[in-house]
Amino acid sequence: MTLVDFYRDLHAHPELSMREHRTAARLAGELRAAGFDTTENIGGTGVAGVLRNGDGPTVMLRADMDALPLAEETGLPYASTVPGVMHACGHDLHVTGLAGAAGQLARVRDSWSGTLLAVGQPGEETAEGAVAMLADGLFERFPHPGVILGQHVGPAPAGTVGHRAGLLMSAALDVEIRIFGRGGHGSMPENCVDPVVTAAYLVTRLQTVVSREIGAGEAAVVTVGRMHAGTRANVIPDEAVLTLNLRTREQHVRDRVLEAVRRIAEAECAASGCPRKPEITTAGDFPALSNDTDTVRRVRSAHAAVFGPAAVLEYDPLMASEDFPRFGAGDIPYAYWFVGTTPQPVWDAAPGDRPADKLRGVPGNHTSRFAPDLSAVRTVVTALTTAAHAVLG
Ligand code: ZN
Ligand code: ZN
């Protein structure tokens, strides 16, 4: 089976976060065939393959494996066969890139020395997988990496790779605020504490976090995406629940935003006379992704040599998020880059001249029409192989 067939097969059989059983088994099969000592079921469905090849650094190659709850509308002959589930973020390409790079690096093992740790990670979309693998002893049971490499596909001309030293992706966090009032008959608010009114004030006041507490040069977004209270017009409910999504580029800004949200929520509830403090819980916790400058430099120049300098793009920081940086949290340097997947005719036909304008006209990640060009299979394999080779020396 060719790598393109392997990719088509993964694409046709997407699996949701933390349930990537078939995908993990297929990846493990490829790693074993390449000679990697391979272990499954790490932190759920996680896979780790080790190839020891003499003295030298340990380099970890990471691919995420999960798909999204989305109905595919690409019309591709190898479209999803699972109703309502789609590889709409291209993680099937990441798994293919890892399988292909593992095979290639094993074949040319005379040309490098060190240890490879190939990691198939579950649950990226839900920010669960990296944490689960680390909690299950990834870095204790297997060689501790000195460098970590990862890649993500996205809308940009197929054949390009995008790099950035330092900050590349934002931190994200979901925050749920449960407001406790005192319910009663809608005709007698004087006997109640109305959580609907408190929630309304809170939503308004939260708009001042970014506008009044965060510097103009710092990026932050606070969105109240969900607001729920009550059942009918003449009943004052006991509770109201707000769910927020926070995006920031730097950890200290995120800490500040979260602290402001807590302070304002507690103060609004106190102002309304709520019988209890609000309950504030967080989920979907993604750290900011900040690439190691030296590792990026080595990988970028290796990519320029193999793809040509014109194919290597410089990216601006994005407000999107990844749980990949969890693996580097113990101060392990890492490089993470993007691989363009938009077929050239689709890119050329999109309106506008600037890449930022064209992006509005091409199907991106998390959309039902995200259809990577098949040439991207070779690009992700070559990008990861070349990067690993550059770091292994
Ligand atoms: Zn993704
Ligand atoms: Zn995604």
Cα 371 to middle of ligand 1, angstroms: 14
Q: Provide the pLDDT for residue 1.
A: 84
For residues 66 and 164, membership in a common domain is answered with yes
Cα 321 to middle of ligand 1, angstroms: 9
Between the alpha carbon of residue 135 and those of residues 42, 43, 117, 125, 129, the distances in Å are 9, 7, 17, 18, 10
pTM for the predicted model, two decimal places: 0.88
Cα 125 to middle of ligand 1, angstroms: 7
Q: Which numbered ligand comes closest to the C-alpha of 324?
A: 1
Cα 63 to middle of ligand 1, angstroms: 10
Q: Annotated active-site positions, please? A: 66, 124
Best CA proximity match to 45, nearest among 61, 69, 65: 65
Cα 113 to middle of ligand 2, angstroms: 34
pLDDT tens for each residue of 332-377: 999 999 999 999 999 999 999 888 899 999 999 999 999 999 999 9
Total domains present in the chain: 2
Q: Provide the pLDDT for residue 177.
A: 98
For residues 264 and 222, membership in a common domain is answered with yes
Residues with CB under 5 A from ligand 2 (ion): 89
Cα 1 to middle of ligand 2, angstroms: 27
Q: Provide the pLDDT for residue 393.
A: 80
Q: Provide the pLDDT for residue 330.
A: 80
Q: Provide the pLDDT for residue 303.
A: 98
Angle of CA points 223, 225, 227, to nearest 5°? 120
Write the CATH number for 249.
3.30.70.360
Q: Which numbered ligand comes closest to the C-alpha of 90?
A: 1
For the chain, the distance separating the N- and C-terminal CA atoms, rounded to the nearest angstrom, is: 30
- Of 231, 250, 285, the residue that ends a domain is 285
What DSSP letter does each residue of 296-314 carry, written as one string? HHHHHHHHHHHH-GGGEEE
- Centre a 10 Å sphere on the Cβ of residue 99 and count the other Cβ atoms it contains: 28
Q: Provide the pLDDT for residue 251.
A: 82
Pairing of strands 312-314, 161-163: parallel
For residues 89 and 158, membership in a common domain is answered with yes
Q: Which numbered ligand comes closest to the C-alpha of 367?
A: 2
d(CA 324, CA 91): 13
Residue 43, CA atoms < 13 Å, CB-side half-sphere = 24
- Of 233, 255, 285, the residue that ends a domain is 285
For residues 84 and 181, membership in a common domain is answered with no
For residues 109 and 247, membership in a common domain is answered with no
d(CA 19, CA 247): 27
For residues 149 and 208, membership in a common domain is answered with no
Cα 91 to middle of ligand 1, angstroms: 6
For residues 17 and 119, membership in a common domain is answered with yes
State the chain's mean pLDDT as an integer. Answer: 96
pLDDT digits (tens), the chain, 393 positions: 899 999 999 999 999 999 999 999 999 999 999 999 999 999 999 999 999 999 999 999 999 999 999 999 999 999 999 999 999 999 999 999 999 999 999 999 999 999 999 999 999 999 999 999 999 999 999 999 999 999 999 999 999 999 999 999 999 999 999 999 999 999 999 999 999 999 999 999 999 999 999 999 999 999 999 999 999 999 999 999 999 999 998 888 999 999 999 999 999 999 999 999 999 999 989 999 999 999 999 999 999 999 999 999 999 998 889 999 999 988 999 999 999 999 999 999 999 988 889 999 999 999 999 999 999 999 999 999 999 999 998
Cα 154 to middle of ligand 1, angstroms: 9
Amino acid at 115: T
d(CA 42, CA 119): 10
Q: Provide the pLDDT for residue 356.
A: 85
pLDDT tens for each residue of 345-354: 999 999 998 8
For residues 166 and 44, membership in a common domain is answered with yes
For residues 137 and 37, membership in a common domain is answered with yes
Q: Which numbered ligand comes closest to the C-alpha of 339?
A: 1
d(CA 331, CA 316): 23
For residues 143 and 204, membership in a common domain is answered with no
Domain span at residue 271 reads: 171-285
Q: Looking at the DSSP assignment, which residues form a beta bridge with residue 185?
A: 235
Q: Provide the pLDDT for residue 214.
A: 96
- Of 234, 263, 285, the residue that ends a domain is 285
Decide: helix, strand or coil at residue 336. strand
Q: Which numbered ligand comes closest to the C-alpha of 92?
A: 1
For residues 185 and 46, membership in a common domain is answered with no
d(CA 170, CA 223): 15
For residues 146 and 264, membership in a common domain is answered with no
Q: Which one-letter DSSP state was computed for residue 68?
A: B
Write the CATH number for 163.
3.40.630.10
Cα 92 to middle of ligand 1, angstroms: 10
